[in-house]
Structure 1
């Protein structure tokens, strides 16, 4: 948006327009009688020609007033410095994540589908943090290293599906993989958010041992147990089509609590989609990003445009009054 540095000069414009109108009216009112129609037409043509220098002078003064008012355009550039929080989101993609206990009345969805939706919202809420994704089942898999390119990160998140990794649940190995990814970079705060719906039954390292190692590296771990109490529904394909079967939900909450508290984190239990959203929102609030903003204002000056045009009109006025209009001006 164009602004003016010295808007008081704009007051000259209506004064110039008013004086020009009065001058032209006075010139037209001072008429002389003509006996012949031909002479009347010639006089009218001369009258219009003699008005042209006044109009040019009026436009010149208006443009000069605009130039003196100092038209400028501001462009603000805001530089944000992030706090340096790095976050690894570790997601269980074992077969048990096909449970349908996170479905809603409007939509049938698996636990993994629900987790991906909530994690996307979490990523969108933290544009200044580097975030990575570790998927795990019987072994960990780095789906995305730490990155600020969150659009690419979400594409990688969308690719996660059950069955993409060998069977089992290697929670300890997932913690170790996430901690190693965070240890490769320098940051003020290193966070792991690990979600699982089962018990550790694979991998070469126990979860508590992996948590001790993570704590030594300065990594804080939040753990989330996903699954309703009791039995959860699963869709099973049979000879006569799909059917719903109910399977016991077994989450090692004691182990997940120990893993979290030993690193300064917390354990949460998500029993449905609403509680899952609340958990990630709570973690988001606890691990706030501090930003330092530096605002730079750049100015673009436009006074030369009306000044040059006004100068050209002034030259045209001089040329006209010195040549063609010299006799009638």
Structure 2
């Protein structure tokens, strides 16, 4: 058993106070010898002191919040181990199309992403998910977990604006490391959500290629684009030194020899369709441990203390205040 507030246990010696303090209650008699021997009263007095000590003990233990041992159980369901890698650049705080000042702007990209990802998480209760944000560098959100409250908090943080840089390589590199200490069960995937691309250094490319294959990860890239942006699915032919960064990044992902799928979303509906398609692809049997917290015994000790208090009040009213001659 452990205690959440163990410092209350330092006051445990106070439980001996009832035996140390002497009662001033009773009657004054000129000669004690005239009083009959009353062993029952003496036993009740000692018993009452013991009950008061037990009451103090219950109060201190309740304040210390004793908790039983945790249990780890295996849970089996349908889902995947995924890491959301979310762009936190300033451009994510812009609408999908139009101008904010014109009154005709569509939904903000980060707002739509937060709303749809939250819906995606809630529809897949068996998923284990981690979150990584990135702007000029990786921004750790949460390790791969099934704690929904923590995941929601990390998604909210990752969809807030940051600075005007898009370092996709840093975000992906950090995301891959989250799988290193997690046993593989079922599907494992990285979902990259960004409204732009960036150039990857040869070192980062080599690291990603090795790590993605080692951890047997699938990669999904959802590109949030404006209507006039270059499409990664374009059949245009570019000079080698003039290939758009988004097209070059897509070609690199295709060359990795892993399970890879790219999507383009220029409005909330297409973004939702992309997320739903990923969900249908990554939905296999998954097994993972769940830690069940131990029972908190504070309420039990508080209830016991309340019953002892009522019993003490009843016993205190059983006193005989004086002896009368018969």
TM-score (norm 2): 0.53
The aligned counterpart of 1:99 is 94
The equivalent of 1:133 in structure 2 is 131
Could you tell me which of 236, 239, 250 is aligned with 1:256?
250
Gaps of 5+ in 1: 1-78, 233-249, 293-329
**1:89 partnered with 2:87:** no
Match of 1:170 in 2: 167
Displacement, 1:207?
4.9
Please state how far the C-alpha of 1:134 moved relative to its aligned partner.
0.6
* RMSD of aligned residue pairs (Cα, Å): 3.1
Paired residue for 2:281, among 279, 286, 303?
A: 286
Q: 1:149 to 1:261 in 2, by over 3 A?
A: farther
* 8 A Cα contact 1:168 1:201, kept in partner: no
For residues 8-27 of structure 1, the aligned pairs below 5 Å read none
CA distance in 1, matches of 2:193, 2:245: 11
Distance, in Å, in 2 between the alignment partners of 1:160 and 1:137 is 10
CA distance 1:274–1:162, change in 2 (3 Å): same
1:147 aligns with 2:145: yes
- Counterpart Cα distance in 2 of 1:118 and 1:181: 23
Secondary structure class of the residue paired with 1:82: strand
Larger mean CA deviation between 151-160 and 130-139 belongs to 151-160
Superposed, which structure 2 residues align to 1:1-329 within 5 Å? 81-82=76-77, 85-101=80-96, 108-164=106-162, 166-188=163-185, 189-201=187-199, 205-207=203-205, 209-230=207-228, 252-259=246-253, 262=256, 263-290=258-285
In structure 2, C-alpha distance between the alignment counterparts of 1:184 and 1:127, rounded to whole Å: 22
Shift in Å, 1:136: 0.6
* 1:191 positional shift: 0.7
More strand by share: 1
Count the aligned residue pairs: 196
Question: 2: CA distance between counterparts of 1:95 and 1:117?
Answer: 18
Secondary structure of the equivalent of 1:138?
coil
| Aligned 8 A contact 2:96 2:226 in 1 | yes
> Which whole-Å CA distance do the structure 2 matches of 1:273 and 1:98 have between them?
14
Q: Structure 1 260/153 Cα, relative in aligned 2: closer, same or farther at 3 Å?
A: farther
Residues 228-268 of structure 1: CA deviation (Å, up to 9, x unaligned): 22169xxxxxxxxxxxxxxxxx7603413532562212111
Compared with structure 1, are the counterparts of its residues 154 and 109 closer, same or farther at alpha carbon in structure 2 (3 Å cutoff)? Answer: same
Return the index of the structure with the highest Cα Rg.
1
> Is the alpha carbon distance of 1:102 and 1:124 closer, same or farther for their aligned partners in structure 2, counting shifts above 3 Å?
farther
1:262-304 per-residue CA deviation (whole Å, 9 max, x = no partner) reads 2212111111111100000001001113279xxxxxxxxxxxx
- Matches of 2:161 and 2:119 in 1, distance apart? 24
1:170–1:200 CA contact under 8 A, matched in 2 = yes
- Specify whether residues 111 and 288 from structure 1 end up closer, same or farther in structure 2 by C-alpha distance, changes over 3 A only: same
- Asked if 1 retains the 8 angstrom alpha-carbon contact of 2:132 and 2:171, the reply is yes
Change (3 A) 1:261 1:231: closer
Deviation at residue 151 of structure 1 after TM alignment: 2.4
Would the alpha carbon gap of residues 127 and 137 (structure 1) be closer, same or farther in structure 2, given more than 3 Å must change? same
CA drift of 1:124 comes to 1.0
Give the TM-score normalised by the residue count of structure 1.
0.52
Q: In the superposition, relative to structure 1, how do residues 226 and 211 fare at CA in structure 2: closer, same or farther (>3 Å)?
A: farther
CA–CA separation in structure 2 for the residues paired with 1:256 and 1:186:
29
